[in-house]
């Protein structure tokens, strides 16, 4: 288990959608606002997370690791194929990344909120990566890794521009294997991108209503900051 997941857990103690459409919801337009020098200042307070997901804010070094984990590939992954599907590393500029993680004690699922300054990288560029790199394989020491990604229908009441995808990660060796499922909702306001990821082991239905609430709340806070 990754250190950041253990830290968050310790500190915090059939997908059905109606009225849906595929792809990026809405059209990205420039929004007149000043980009915060430190996105930590616009991150939702942990008190704004649902009660079922008591949350903690991760320190910068751990936050970068957590954000990188959302790609399904560890930093040390090698022999990534296709080679042009290697995921971008999280931003390293001071103040460009903030992460909070909530843990549901009943089933050990986690809700990870990532707020990052992505500069001139649009959400359409992210959508292109997700739809283009649907199947990735890699190695991490003796472990074989496969990452399958598919775009899902988006709830009609997600704030735009936004879209949703599911990522299934299988990794392991002859001695042990791991099956991890992540569903991510992504949205963007200007240069600030927001990712909300529900993560669990196995294949249970994600907590879509909670994810939607967190994403919409975070986007609203950024727009009104």
CATH of residue 50: 3.40.1000
Whether the pLDDT of residue 190 is over 90: the answer is yes
Assigned domain for 27 exists: no
pLDDT in tens, 146-162: 999 999 998 878 877 89
- State the pLDDT at residue 29: 46
Assigned domain for 192 exists: yes
Assigned domain for 54 exists: yes
Query: How many domains does the structure of the chain reveal?
Result: 1
Assigned domain for 144 exists: yes
- pLDDT bin (cut points 50, 70, 90) of residue 23 is low
Collect all residues with Cβ–Cβ distance below 8 Å to 77 and sequence separation of at least 6: 138, 139, 140, 145
- pLDDT bin (cut points 50, 70, 90) of residue 1 is very low
Whether the pLDDT of residue 218 is over 90: the answer is yes
pLDDT in tens, 194-205: 999 999 986 668
Reported in sequence order, the residue ranges of the chain that DSSP labels E, i.e. its strands, are 20-21, 55-57, 78-81, 97-103, 110-117, 135-140, 143-152, 154-155, 162-172, 177-189, 192-201
| Structural domain span for residue 182 | 3-12+38-223
Rg (CA), the chain: 17
- State the pLDDT at residue 179: 87
Overall average pLDDT of the 24-29 stretch = 50
Assigned domain for 113 exists: yes
- State the pLDDT at residue 57: 97
Assigned domain for 61 exists: yes
Assigned domain for 29 exists: no
Q: pTM for the complete prediction?
A: 0.84
Average pLDDT of every residue of the chain: 85
Q: What percent of the chain has pLDDT over 90?
A: 65
Assigned domain for 31 exists: no
């Amino acid at each position: 288990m990754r250190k950041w997941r253990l830290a968050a857990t310790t500190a915090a103690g059939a997908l059905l959608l109606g009225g849906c459409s595929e792809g990026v919801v809405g059209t990205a337009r420039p929004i007149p606002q000043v980009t915060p020098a430190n996105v930590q200042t616009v991150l939702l307070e942990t008190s704004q997370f649902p009660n079922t997901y008591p949350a903690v804010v991760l320190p910068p070094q751990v936050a970068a690791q957590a954000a990188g984990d959302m790609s399904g590939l560890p930093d040390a992954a090698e022999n990534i194929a296709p080679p042009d599907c290697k995921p971008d590393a999280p931003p390293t500029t001071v103040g460009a990344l903030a992460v909070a993680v909530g843990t549901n004690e009943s089933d050990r699922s986690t809700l990870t909120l990532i707020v990052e300054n992505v500069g001139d990288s649009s959400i359409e560029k992210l959508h292109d990566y997700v739809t283009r790199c649907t199947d990735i394989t890699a190695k991490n020491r003796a472990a074989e890794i496969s990452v399958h990604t598919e775009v899902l229908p988006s709830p009609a009441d997600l704030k735009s521009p936004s879209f949703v995808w599911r990522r299934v990660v299988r990794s392991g060796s002859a001695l042990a294997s791991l099956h991890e499922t992540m569903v991510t909702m992504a949205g963007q306001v200007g240069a600030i991108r927001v990712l909300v990821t529900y993560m669990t082991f196995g294949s249970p239905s994600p907590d879509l209503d909670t994810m939607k609430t967190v994403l919409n709340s975070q986007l609203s806070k950024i727009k009104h900051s």
